[in-house]
Amino acid sequence: MKARNSVLAKSLTTGLFFLALIALWLTLSNSTAVPEYVLPSPGRVLTTLLEDKSILWSHAEETLKEWAVGLGLSVILALMLSWLAFASSKFSAFLQRILVVSQSVPYLTIAPLLLLWLGLGAAPKIVLILLTCTFPVAQLTLSGLISAQKEFAILATVLRLEKQRALRLIYVPAALPDFFEGVKISVTYAFVSSVMAELIGSEAGLGVYLSRAQSAYRTDRVMAAVLLIVLFSLLCTWCVELISKKVLFWRINQSV
């Protein structure tokens, strides 16, 4: 009951926030102090979404394709890295050093190089998504596995489980919440990386639509594309949360 009330309160708070944001947008767009080419009204943006729905969808398909492939490969690679790091302390130390270095490198600065090396197709966007999204999932999953081992090592010893069997039966289920948190972060990172790479150079995608709209000073189209990106990000984050609740049903039941 307490968990249900908490979810309801969270949903209500989110709804009120978006209503307040739309109200502020309406107020500013109707103000004579703000020209329409600077801030178009919500109605104008909605009209643009409907008028350009076929063009937007064709560009969105390309971005979603890059996002799905890049995120899927990132999760697979992250699971492999976290498993190797958990199995080998030397590899774990090596991976931690790479993670520290990777956090100091703004990946968007190498996007032009990726475009020069791999062309204007989907390959440079997928590689950029891999660079951006692999390490958050790997770091959080590895952290969850290490925490689970510290917490349940005595239980594994009492049950006389070998390390690999204890990993499969105890440590992996206990680390799933951390894994899903990493995926939730990477879902948004993947969209941002793909769109930003498309802005730098691409043949299709929402970033290309944004770039063309910006060049034509069509603020309504820019805002329509941004709104679509935000909606896709929120929808995918919600899907990850829904999947995590289904998979971690035992954890939800404990909090009720």
As a whole number of angstroms, the distance between CA 5 and CA 65 comes to 37
CB 120 within 8 A of CB 62: no
pLDDT at position 34 is 72
- Give the whole-number percent of the chain exceeding pLDDT 70: 91
For 9-51, give the DSSP string.
HHHHHHHHHHHHHHHHHHHHHHSTTS-TTTS--HHHHHHHHHH
Cβ-proximal residues to 77 (8 Å cutoff; 6+ apart), any chain: 130, 134, 138
Residue 23 CA, chain-centre distance (Å), reads: 28
Give the per-residue pLDDT at 256: 45
What pLDDT does 80 receive?
Answer: 93
> pTM of the entire structure?
0.83
Q: Is 73 exposed, middle or buried (0-12, 13-18, 19+ CB in 10 A)?
A: middle
Among residues 109, 146, 128, 107, the alpha carbon closest in space to that of 63 is found at: 128
- Report residues of the chain scoring pLDDT below 70: 1-11, 32, 103, 108, 251-256
Rounded distance between C-alpha atoms, residue 191 and residue 105, angstroms: 19
* 126-142 pLDDT tens trace: 888 888 888 889 989 99
Give yes or no for a contact between 129 and 118, defined as CB atoms under 8 angstroms apart.
Answer: no
Per-residue model confidence as pLDDT tens digits over 162-182: 878 888 888 888 899 999 999
What pLDDT does residue 255 have?
44
